[in-house]
Structure 1
Amino acid sequence: MPRSPIATERAPTRRFRRKGIAMAPLIRPDRHISDAANHADSYRVIRGRVNGLKKASDARLMPYLEQAGFGSAVLIWTSDLRYDLLTALVERWRPETHTFHFPCEEYTVTLEDVAMQLGLPIDGSLATRVSSFTDPAALCYQLLGESLEDEESNFSGLKFTWLKAKFGQLSAAATEGELMCAAPAYIMHITGGVLMPDANNNKVHLMYLPLLADLSSVSLYSWGSAVLAVLYSELCRVTNPNVVDMGGCLTLLQS
């Protein structure tokens, strides 16, 4: 029977034991978290960069969110994340192949997982970042119905607290225009807080906002591909034993 490429790379026969579980070094021992875990006196659990919502969205927003292709993604809850489990997965991640190396086989998160579990579109145009804006204040006013003051934004990111106020305090008599401004604010929040969080745990980058200019065309972008790419990137980054926190869609990773 031919040996797998992974098996041929594991030249060292030495094994380590931590908390009664034997663990073998997976990659170069000076750079991967698995070796750091083998030698550590105490088990270090990775922290997650997540800014989730504690309550469901206003039912009046759902038609707009479903039109944009985010109808299922807004139902994600982050309160049950198991960071010890996520840390164990990171210890098994191989950046060379973008797969988890388990004793039985290799596995990974796929686009099919993204489509099935998050309901995000995985076909269509790339959800590319917009790196520069000619008038970010005008963009915010056009899509969110309000231009931010300097203390609320540095015009590279929107605060989650400000976004929550946009869609969390809708009056009973909210107009269609107010709802259409609240929907992009909601999508911005779950994008930067749950689906693709980055180092700014209290803000979401403005680069996603231009993609939400027309809610009827938002679903034409492959948001699922972007979510998966960010998760892969974060998994590779956090295998460095010096990294202590992780972004990306941790709910998808755990499930």
Structure 2
Amino acid sequence: MIKFCFQSSRNLHIRHLHQIDSYDNRVEEQLKASGFYYVSQIGRIVSHRPTVDALVERWRPKMHTFHLPYGECTITLEDVAMILGLRTDGLPVTGSTDHSTSGLENECLAQFGVAPVSKEIYVKCHIMCLFGTTLFSDKSGISVHWKYLPLLRDFSQIHKFSWGSACLAHMYRSLCRASRYDCKDMDGPLALLLVWAWIRMPTIGPLPVDTSFPLARR
């Protein structure tokens, strides 16, 4: 087994929302239908800043890989599928980057101006919380961009999107930003980053407590 010692001169301020509470069991079937059931099983993962700092120091933006003493490696779509239990194929996750409130108001009226099934409303809110805490967290630590709302409009279509690919792209983007010399904050899906590091370098990670899926739940 390869032993790896992390030593980092970085001191990034890691920002992300607290993990949300467990979902109501009455919406379990709706969560499974949406494709977010497994990622909802992941509890709170306490961030380990020295590990994050060391990984950021070894990240190479041009290659999107970590340069480690024993070679290059990176987080892949397969890792996302196994760690978070998200779909990594399907429709692309795209949307407007407009930050105006008018766009948000129009989308909310379109989705919630009528009375859809109450369980579907609950699951949509739960998914938006997952976006802000686990998958697409930003440096604000308190907000979720409304650009994801249009993708949740048709509940029967939510599971068709490649949420895992979008999460990985967000992880790459967060690592590239954090690797800049003048960057002081780190956001993004830190659960994915940490669990990936613990799996690939088990000498620095906690011991698994069970054999459940996804891997981040262990």
Please report the TM-score for the alignment, with normalisation by the length of structure 2.
Answer: 0.78
2:132 counterpart (174, 178, 192): 192
8 Å Cα contact 1:145/1:181 also seen in 2: no
Matches within 5 A, 1:87-126: 87-126=53-92
8 Å Cα contact 2:64/2:172 also seen in 1: yes
Task: Return closer, same or farther for 1:89/1:76 CA change in 2, 3 Å cut-off.
Answer: same
Tell me the matched-pair count: 189
Task: Return closer, same or farther for 1:144/1:189 CA change in 2, 3 Å cut-off.
Answer: farther
Task: Return closer, same or farther for 1:242/1:75 CA change in 2, 3 Å cut-off.
Answer: same
Matches within 5 A, 1:8-47: 37=9, 44-47=10-13
Partner of 1:143: 111
Task: Return closer, same or farther for 1:22/1:228 CA change in 2, 3 Å cut-off.
Answer: closer
- Matched residue type, 1:93: W
2:161 counterpart (208, 218, 221): 221
8 Å Cα contact 1:144/1:182 also seen in 2: no
1:127 corresponds to 2:93: yes
Which stretches in structure 2 are left out of the alignment for 5+ residues? 196-218
Distance in structure 1 (CA, Å) of the matches to 2:28 and 2:35: 10
8 Å Cα contact 2:6/2:51 also seen in 1: no
| Cα shift at 1:142 | 4.7
Distance in structure 2 (CA, Å) of the matches to 1:246 and 1:22: 18
8 Å Cα contact 2:136/2:167 also seen in 1: yes
Distance in structure 2 (CA, Å) of the matches to 1:135 and 1:80: 35
Greater strand fraction, Structure 1 or Structure 2: 1
Distance in structure 2 (CA, Å) of the matches to 1:91 and 1:131: 29
Which stretches in structure 1 are left out of the alignment for 5+ residues? 1-20, 24-33, 38-43, 147-174
Please report the TM-score for the alignment, with normalisation by the length of structure 1.
Answer: 0.67
- Matched residue type, 1:58: D
8 Å Cα contact 2:90/2:162 also seen in 1: yes
Q: CA RMSD for the aligned pairs?
A: 2.5
Greater helix fraction, Structure 1 or Structure 2: 2
Per chain length, whose mean CA-contact separation is higher, i.e. which structure has more relative contact order (CA < 8 Å, sep 6+)?
2
- Matched residue type, 2:179: T
Task: Return closer, same or farther for 1:124/1:237 CA change in 2, 3 Å cut-off.
Answer: same
Task: Return closer, same or farther for 1:74/1:206 CA change in 2, 3 Å cut-off.
Answer: same
- Matched residue type, 2:111: L
Partner of 2:189: 249
